[in-house]
């Protein structure tokens, strides 16, 4: 580093208030301290520049980009910020979608103004695609054409605006069409009031037709949902297999995004099916007596991995009580409480606990999340309502979860209570009655207890399903867990594939081809091998009739799309139980 000249030293002396040699000596430590402060400040700004969330760059109106931070490079699809340091010609050719005309417009504005703020435009990424951005450009005073730029990616916001505009246009068209229909109906009623009897007969016929159409719609919805859940189940199993493999960061990111998209589609489809059944009163409570452990332990096991993935700790406190309830419906409520707690808690823990209140139990889910303001507590159970979600990227589903909770709780006659403090967390609780008689039936899904050791590696499992995509997906996932997998589409194929050796466990689809039920094939294989082979039934059929039939047979039931964590927990527990026997 070159030594400062006498004139520079004199200027520094005057700047710091140092006059004589003695004064310089006495203030030398202070000078060093100030220089260290300046260096610290420089490093701090350098760190902020390199780790900023939004893109930052420095450019010259004569030369082009001089520097850029990593965030801008990533936004444009480049690995190294030096790759985006383009000249003015390159900026027009490679960066701005508007080309030279847009670049010339920006220069003209900055020649007459100190900056350009809130400027929305499109930039070209490395792969040729375009992204919408919001730019703020500041012309540095005293510098000849030097610009500081700040760039934010608003692609998601633009897409959300477009979707909202499209929805508004569709809604306006529907309102107009409906208005025309109502106006026409009113004119007809005024003209035909003298023909009341005939109109009443027509209305009765229209009512019967509407009821028939509604019944047909429900039947179609049930069939369509089954067909939708089949490929969704295969996709979930394949994605779960990829998630458990060691992949490069880019591929792992794509797999995670696919997993989130599938999870959102599954939640949405499940919510729509449930809300449709509840509105049509197609669900009837099936109340029986269950151990609290059998209800809460599978949920705790299922959400341990969910909480861990969010960086949270899930704690459980399950006392030894028996309750009188509908196992499936109450599980649906608690699963929604736990899902919301894990989703809206950024850090801390989630607690699944129980408190006794006389002849009742309060089943509670506590979290340390963002909380809900008091004036919003009354809105959380409304349909299509999600609180504190400002961006489309943060949305999951359409806000039906708590609306379903309220309907189920009302059906069961259980009060739901919510307490919350913004910034400190929330507690959701539901009050259920204690049982006054002994247990008479096992739960739908067997109790899952966390035990030491993995029972899956080396175990021979039979997967029975008439969908080849699901067979391949299930086999890939189970083989990744270390299992030896045998697949078959029907009873004859299963006997042939097993080659005279009974499997350790059967995973069977409930509905097979030619109206054959998976439980009948399981019964045949048990008789064929003279062994009580454990079996789990997997189905997209969510009807009460299917559930009751499997409950009567004592077979655990998993609904498609199967959650891999829940599948692994149930299969592991059944294999452990078989080992203990």
Three-state secondary structure of 145-200:
CEEEEEEEECHHHHHHHHHHHHHHHHHHHHHHHHHHHHHHHHHHHHHCHHHHHHHH
DSSP letters for 297-357:
HHHHHHHHHHHHHTT-EEEE---S-EEEE-HHHHHHHHHHHHHHHHHS--SSEEEEEEEEE
Residue 504 lies in a domain: yes
How far is the C-alpha of 320 from the C-alpha of 407, rounded, in Å?
28
Structure tokens at 441: 């039936």
Structure tokens at 17: 């208030």
Considering the domain architecture, whether residues 23 and 97 belong to the same structural domain is answered as: no
Distance of CA 330 to the CA centre of its chain: 22
Structure tokens at 400: 């039906």
CB 132 within 8 A of CB 366: no
Q: What is the pLDDT of residue 270?
A: 66
Q: How many domains in the chain? A: 4
Residue 334 lies in a domain: yes
Q: What is the pLDDT of residue 2?
A: 46
The 8-class DSSP code of residue 143 comes to S
Considering the domain architecture, whether residues 482 and 569 belong to the same structural domain is answered as: yes
C-alpha distances in Å from residue 304, one per residue of 338, 342, 365, 380: 10, 10, 14, 25
Q: What is the pLDDT of residue 446?
A: 37
How far is the C-alpha of 549 from the C-alpha of 394, rounded, in Å?
40
Which CATH number goes with the domain that contains 89? Answer: 3.30.450.20
Structure tokens at 566: 């829940």
Quick check: bond before 561 cis, omega within 30? yes
Distance between start and end Cα atoms, the chain: 80
**pTM of full prediction above 0.75:** no
CB 140 within 8 A of CB 132: no
Residue 230 lies in a domain: no
Residue 526 lies in a domain: yes
How far is the C-alpha of 71 from the C-alpha of 50, rounded, in Å?
8
DSSP 3-state of 52 = coil
Considering the domain architecture, whether residues 77 and 33 belong to the same structural domain is answered as: no
Which CATH number goes with the domain that contains 398? Answer: 3.30.565.10
Q: What is the pLDDT of residue 230?
A: 67
How far is the C-alpha of 422 from the C-alpha of 371, rounded, in Å?
4
Residue 300 lies in a domain: yes
The helix/strand count (H/E) of the chain reads as: 16, 17
Considering the domain architecture, whether residues 295 and 385 belong to the same structural domain is answered as: yes
Nearest to 60 by CA among 146, 139, 141: 146
Question: Of the candidates 109, 137, 153, which is a domain's last residue?
Answer: 153
How far is the C-alpha of 504 from the C-alpha of 221, rounded, in Å?
37
CB 368 within 8 A of CB 349: yes
CB 134 within 8 A of CB 151: yes
How far is the C-alpha of 26 from the C-alpha of 234, rounded, in Å?
77
Ramachandran angles phi, psi of 368, nearest 5°: -110, 40
Considering the domain architecture, whether residues 319 and 295 belong to the same structural domain is answered as: yes
Structure tokens at 49: 């520049």
DSSP 3-state of 245 = coil
Considering the domain architecture, whether residues 426 and 314 belong to the same structural domain is answered as: yes
Structure tokens at 471: 């067979």
Residue 74 lies in a domain: yes
Query: Which domain range does residue 544 map to?
Result: 460-580
Question: Of the candidates 125, 153, 181, which is a domain's last residue?
Answer: 153
Q: Which residue has the tokens 């919301």?
A: 340
Structure tokens at 246: 């060691």
Render each residue's pLDDT in the chain as its tens digit; 581 residues: 444 555 545 555 555 554 555 545 556 777 777 777 777 777 776 787 777 778 888 888 788 888 888 988 888 889 888 888 888 778 878 788 888 888 888 888 888 888 888 889 888 888 888 889 999 988 887 777 788 889 988 888 888 888 999 999 889 998 998 888 888 888 887 877 777 887 788 788 888 777 776 666 656 655 555 566 667 767 767 777 777 777 787 777 777 777 666 666 666 666 566 656 665 555 677 788 888 888 888 888 878 878 888 888 888 888 888 888 888 788 888 888 888 888 888 888 899 989 988 889 999 899 988 888 777 776 676 654 555 544 434 444 444 567 778 878 888 888 888 888 888 888 888 899 998 755 544 444 433 344 446 788 889 999 999 888 888 888 888 988 899 999 999 999 999 999 889 999 999 988 888 888 888 899 899 999 998 889 998 887 766 666 777 777 777 888 777 778 788 888 888 888 776 55
CB 394 within 8 A of CB 403: no
Q: In what order do the strands lie in the sheet with 115-124?
A: 64-68, 55-60, 146-153, 130-139, 115-124
Residue 117 lies in a domain: yes
Q: How open is the CA angle 325-320-301, to the nearest 5 degrees?
A: 80
């Amino acid at each position: 580093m070159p030594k400062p000249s006498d004139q520079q030293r004199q200027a520094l002396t005057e700047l710091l208030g140092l006059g004589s040699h003695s004064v310089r000596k006495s203030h030398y430590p202070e000078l060093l301290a100030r220089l260290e402060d300046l260096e610290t400040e420089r490093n701090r700004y350098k760190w902020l520049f390199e780790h900023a969330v939004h893109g930052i760059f420095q450019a010259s109106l004569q030369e082009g980009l001089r520097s850029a931070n990593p965030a801008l490079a990533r936004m444009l699809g480049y690995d190294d910020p030096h790759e985006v340091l383009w000249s003015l010609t390159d900026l027009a050719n490679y960066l701005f979608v508007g080309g030279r005309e847009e670049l010339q417009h920006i220069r003209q504005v900055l020649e007459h103004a100190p900056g350009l703020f809130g400027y929305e435009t499109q930039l070209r990424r490395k792969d040729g695609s375009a992204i919408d951005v919001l730019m703020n450009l500041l012309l540095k005073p005293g510098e000849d054409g030097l610009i500081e730029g700040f760039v934010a990616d608003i692609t998601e916001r633009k897409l959300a605006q477009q979707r909202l505009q499209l929805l508004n246009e569709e809604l306006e068209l529907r309102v107009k069409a409906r208005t025309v229909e109502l106006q026409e109906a009113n004119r007809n009623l005024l003209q035909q009031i003298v023909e009341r009897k005939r109109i009443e007969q027509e209305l009765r016929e229209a009512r019967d037709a509407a009821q028939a159409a509604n019944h047909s719609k429900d039947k179609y919805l049930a069939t369509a949902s089954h067909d939708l859940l089949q490929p969704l189940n295969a996709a979930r199993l394949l994605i779960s297999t990829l998630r458990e493999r060691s992949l490069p960061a880019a591929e792992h990111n794509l797999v995670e995004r696919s997993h989130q998209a599938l999870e959102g589609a599954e939640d949405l489809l499940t919510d729509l099916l449930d809300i449709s059944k509840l509105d049509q009163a197609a669900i009837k409570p099936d109340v029986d007596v269950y151990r609290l452990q059998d209800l809460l332990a599978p949920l705790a096991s299922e959400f341990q991995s969910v909480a861990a993935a969010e960086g949270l700790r899930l704690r459980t406190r399950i006392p030894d009580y028996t309750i009188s309830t509908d196992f499936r419906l109450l599980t649906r409520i608690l699963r929604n409480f736990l899902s919301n707690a894990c989703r809206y808690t950024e850090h801390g823990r989630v607690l699944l606990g129980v408190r006794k209140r006389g002849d009742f139990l309060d089943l509670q889910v506590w979290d340390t999340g963002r909380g809900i303001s008091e004036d919003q507590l009354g809105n959380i159970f409304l349909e299509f309502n999600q609180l504190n979600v400002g961006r489309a990227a943060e949305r999951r589903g359409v806000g039906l979860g708590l609306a379903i909770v309220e309907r189920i709780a009302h059906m069961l006659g259980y009060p739901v209570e919510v307490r919350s403090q913004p910034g400190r967390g929330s507690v959701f609780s539901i009050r259920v009655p204690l049982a006054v008689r002994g247990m008479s039936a096992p739960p739908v899904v067997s109790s899952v207890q966390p035990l030491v050791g993995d029972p899956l590696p080396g175990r021979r499992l039979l997967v029975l399903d008439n969908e080849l995509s699901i067979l391949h997906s299930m086999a890939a996932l189970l083989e990744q867990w270390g299992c030896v997998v045998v697949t078959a589409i029907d009873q004859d194929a299963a006997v042939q594939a097993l080659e005279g050796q009974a499997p350790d466990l059967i995973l069977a689809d409930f509905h097979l081809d030619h109206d054959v039920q998976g439980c009948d094939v399981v019964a045949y294989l048990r008789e064929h091998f003279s062994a009580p082979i454990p079996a789990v039934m997997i189905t997209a059929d969510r009807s009460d009739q299917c559930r009751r039939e499997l409950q009567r047979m004592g077979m655990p039931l998993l609904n498609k799309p199967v959650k891999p964590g829940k599948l692994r927990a149930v299969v592991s527990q059944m294999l452990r139980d078989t080992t203990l026997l």
